[in-house]
Amino acid sequence: MKLSNTQFITRGLIAFVITSGIIALILSLVGIQEVQLPPGRKYGMVFDAGSTHTSIFLYHWPADEQNGTGIVSQLHHCEVNGPGISGYAENPPKAGESLRPCLDNVSSYIPVESQKETIIYLGATAGMRLLKIQNETKSDMILEEVSKTIKSYPFKFQGARIISGMEEGAYGWTTINYLLNSFIKYSFDGKWTHPESANIHGALDLGGASTQITFTPKESIEDKTTDVRFKLYGYNYIIYTHSYLCYGQQHFKKKHIAMQLQGKNLTDLIEIPCYLKGFKSNMTLDSIFDSPCTSDQKPLPYDGTQIIALVGTGKPGECREAVKTLFNFTACGGSQTCAFDGVYQPPINGPFFAFSAFFYTFDFFNLTSGNPSLSTVNKTIKEFCSREWQEVKASYPKQKVKYLQNYCLSATQIYTLLVDAYNFDSRTWNNIIFQQKADNTEIGWTLGYMLNLTNIMPAEQVYLHKSQAMEAWAVLIVLFIVVVVMGVVILLVSLRSAMDNTVL
């Protein structure tokens, strides 16, 4: 039977639609490929329980890792009110309770579904090291109380412990070089790569109870007790690090005053050359000799409640000599690989970041920018230490007295440490960068610790799902549109044919 034109067109369109459907089916099968889903995020918190205060830092990173180490960034941080946890030696439960406001604050930044897998760790530094020397039972009780508080939150608690000075120095070095992209950087083609000529920086840290120096020397490290080995992003690093307990600002001040008391009548005014002329202060003997750094210098007979009167003389020359005596340079016997107190140190190498109290002290003197020369630094400190206390106090009305009174001593300590101990000179001085933040992140040991922890933690499993290639999707969409249009045309032709038949 001969087909009408309408029937012929209709059947042709149906054949085209069927053929297009078959092609679409084939493309949907052939074009399938496996696509990696975006990695989830992991979270981690670290408490930095320092000698004078405690901070909590919240970090996050993609769940997959680059050569075994996570790409970590700071999300939030919170300062705990009150002293460092070592300050609660007489009331350990209060140390734990002091952490709650910050724990509540930081918790709000972590998705509820991620909190059970969020790691949290507390590391105590030099203040607790000294307390452990002084009274191990009290230090253990404080760690027990802070652990009890942290465990009451829905996080994956990794422990609370006193970290060593070497760990503090090494993790601080890791933080700096990570933030400066010395280990890994994001390339133009959207990949994380290891810099071909990484500019590794040294780290200079000054806290309340200790100070640390860490760097990669040119020569091999002779004293193997001072080297630390890292593997980050698939590369190995060997660094020199040493921590000097009792040489942090707060305890160095106690050492200085204790030395000035030697052989003196404690009922007389005690002259302090590192205090500005005219400054006066009263202190109990316990506030000076309650530290393992000074306890062996107690005057006899000893009454810890006895009050002594101090007066500043503002003599920068005498201050400098007194500070140099506290570093005990004679113990090095003239060795070129010795800093002070007989401690081995290879020659300094490369640029350095000086942070914490190094930065805060020199920032007060406007010495952290503009690359001031070593002679300018020396002159600035001398001029300040020669000023009258009342004049300085009037010049800095917003500065708290507890900080202002110590700037002469602190600056002299820093100058002596960097120049006489670590051997920075006029040629290498400007290799030191005094800075507290890099890439909008606080510099300290906590980020370095988190990087090391992600090196230990297994990476999240990579999940794949089936997906169409972009080209296949484009063809399928075109075919879909064509099929829909043809379907409408077939419908219209069929309706037209039916209407014609009805009329006939």
Compute CA distances 262 → 257, 272, 388, 493, 502, whole Å: 9, 12, 26, 113, 125
Angle at the Cα of 230 from the Cα atoms of 126 and 438, rounded to 5 degrees: 65
Residue 125, annotated as binding a ligand: no
Phi, psi for 48 (deg, rounded to 5): -100, 95
CA separation for the pair 421, 340 (Å, rounded): 6
CA separation for the pair 149, 99 (Å, rounded): 8
168 part of the active site: yes
How are beta strands 464-468 and 32-36 bridged, if at all?
A: antiparallel
- Give the pair of three-digit tokens for residue 364: 């007060």
How are beta strands 352-356 and 432-434 bridged, if at all?
A: parallel
Residue 198, annotated as binding a ligand: no
Residue 115, annotated as binding a ligand: no
Instruction: Considering the candidates 65, 145, 167, 168, report the single residue annotated as catalytic.
Output: 168
CB contact set of 194 (below 8 Å; sequence gap of 6+): 183, 184, 233, 234, 235
- Give the pair of three-digit tokens for residue 269: 């005014």
Q: What is the 3-state secondary structure (H, E, C) of 139-188?
A: HHHHHHHHHHHHHCCCCEEEEEEECCHHHHHHHHHHHHHHHCCCCCEECC
Residue 208, annotated as binding a ligand: yes
CA separation for the pair 59, 72 (Å, rounded): 6
Residue 190, annotated as binding a ligand: no
**Per the annotation, where are the binding residues?**
208-212
**Per the annotation, where are the binding residues for ATP?**
208-212
Return the active site residues.
168
